[in-house]
Structure 1
Amino acid sequence: MRAFKKYLMAGLLIWAPLVITTWVVWTLVSTLESILPESLSARALLGVDVPGLRFLIVLLVLLLTGALTANFIGQALVDRWERLMGRIPLIRSIYNSVKQVGDTLLAPNGQAFRQAVLVQYPRVGAWTIAFVTGVPGGEAARHLSGDYVSVYVPTTPNPTSGFFLMVPRADIVALNMSVDAALKYIVSMGAVAPPPPPQESH
């Protein structure tokens, strides 16, 4: 029975990451391919099924869009498009919200999810890993006195859900670990601890 459990766990450790990675990639490819109509499918264009062709088309469109909007003319067209979207009552709220989140998370020089920290949550004395997402703004900032930071506390083992907190900067502890290492630590429920930082030689 002990050998059975040992070999079962060893097999799970090999297959679980492979299966989950395959599922995530397949889901991503399928979602992106569903954006394009069937008229652009491999069977419609070439007469045979080519897995991933529509995904490559979507990727090519994204790259071309990014290249075209990198110059002055492209940016002017984007500005006109955003002004048009801002005039549609229902669409305006959804579009602006999604765009603000995208600009915050995907900006090359942004600070969101660039640093892992320790915060006391859900009570004083209990610590968890969080990610700095910025500083409070708007009306919320006017009600906070002092230096505060915005952090995202992910749940375990699914880090895509979590809690948004505004905490005093003095109450967080900066960690000398990468965001990837912190995410692995969270997803593994603390079982896969990142290695300690190298000691500086004197």
Structure 2
Amino acid sequence: MFKKYFITGLLVWVPIVITLWLLGILVGIIETFVPECLSSKYLFSYDIPGFQLIIVMVVIWTSGIMTANLIGRTLLDYWNTILGKIPLVRSIYNSVKQVSDTVLSSDSQSFRQAVLIEYPRQGCWTIAFLTGTPDNNIVSCLPFDDYVSVYVPTTPNPTSGFFLIIGKDRIKSLDMNVDTALKYIVSMGIVSSHKIK
């Protein structure tokens, strides 16, 4: 009886503790970008939890407003041009920018659909996400014309995975949104998709 209640208690507390721990790490990382002169301790002589996080969010929001107009976009293009001329910075910045533009853009089609594919061999199935269509240079080297690009996440860490180019006829569309599919993958299939909220 003790073991049953103890495990039940763990099931309640473990997700809460891990979530708060990860949020604490994330907030701590974000707050390191705020200079000391803008900290609540420096400005008000005492600590206000989350003050630096609010400053970061305000800066990001203000940047979005400023770059939404012609002058802001011109300045951003100028900044991109400068960074594009620095040898080492150029390769890192351009790669990160392409990924963030693809994933975060509101009109992007990447990670918008969960599909089922046979992987890593015939008879084994896994969930993947459509990421687009391969470049014409790649398709011209392949035996057929109709291909799609998919990302196969690993379990339980979906941030790593495999990129595949697969025939469109070899994918099966799922009646499952991306969030539900990710939760299903992270849970290693333990939580069935109809139970995921």
Q: Which amino acid in the other structure matches residue 191 of structure 2?
A: V
The CA deviation at 1:34 is 0.8
Residues 19-38 of structure 1 correspond to what in structure 2 (within 5 A)? 19-38=17-36
Unaligned runs of 5+ in 2: none
Does the C-alpha gap of structure 1 residues 164 and 5 become closer, same or farther in structure 2, counting only changes over 3 Å? farther
Q: What residue in structure 1 maps to residue 120 of structure 2?
A: 122
Q: Secondary structure at the match of 2:194?
A: coil
Q: 1:98 aligns with which of 62, 83, 96?
A: 96
Alignment of 1:54-133 (within 5 A): 54-133=52-131
Report the alpha carbon displacement of residue 5 of structure 1 after superposing the two structures with TM.
3.2
Report the Cα distance in structure 2 between the residues aligned to 1:142 and 1:30, rounded to whole angstroms.
48
User: What letter corresponds to residue 187 of structure 1 in structure 2?
Assistant: V
Give identity over the alignment, percent: 55
Following TM superposition, by how much is the alpha carbon of 1:4 offset from its aligned partner in structure 2, in angstroms? 3.1
Q: Deviations over 1:10-39 (max 9, x none)?
A: 112211211121122112111110112222
Tell me the SS of whatever aligns to 1:189. coil
Gapped runs of 5+ residues in structure 1? 197-202
Aligned to 1:149: 148
Give the Cα–Cα distance (whole angstroms) in 2 for the partners of residues 142 and 74 of structure 1: 40
In structure 2, C-alpha distance between the alignment counterparts of 1:48 and 1:121, rounded to whole Å: 55
Distance in 1 between residues matched to 2:63 and 2:8, nearest whole Å? 45
Kindly tell me: are residues 138 and 89 of structure 1, through their superposed partners in 2, closer, same or farther at Cα, counting changes over 3 Å? farther
* CA offset digits 1:72-94 (Å, max 9, x no partner): 11111111111111111111111
| Distance in 2 (alpha carbons) for counterparts of 1:137 and 1:19 | 44
> Which residue of structure 2 aligns with residue 6 of structure 1?
4
Q: Give the drift of 1:9.
A: 2.3
1: CA distance between counterparts of 2:126 and 2:132?
A: 18
Shift in Å at residue 138 of structure 1?
A: 6.0
Change beyond 3 A, Cα 1:123–1:68: same
Counterparts of 1:79 and 1:155, CA distance in 2: 36
Q: Which moved more, 1:65-74 or 1:187-196?
A: 187-196
Q: Quick one: distance in 2 between partners of 1:141 and 1:42?
A: 55
- Give the ranges of 4+ consecutive aligned residues of structure 1 lying more than 4 Å apart after TM superposition: none
Give the secondary-structure state (helix, strand or coil) at the position aligned to 2:164.
Answer: strand
SS in 2 for 1:195: helix
Cα distance in 1, alignment partners of residues 56 and 4 from structure 2? 44
1:185 corresponding residue in structure 2 = 184
1:120-179 deviation per Cα after TM superposition (whole angstroms, max 9, x unaligned) = 111111001111111112643332332111111111111111111111111111100111
Structure 2 equivalent of residue 137 of structure 1: 135
1:142 and 1:34 map into 2 onto residues whose CA distance is 47
Match of 2:161? 162
Instruction: Compute the TM-score of the two structures, normalised by the length of structure 2.
Output: 0.93
When the two structures are aligned, how many residues end up with a matched partner?
194
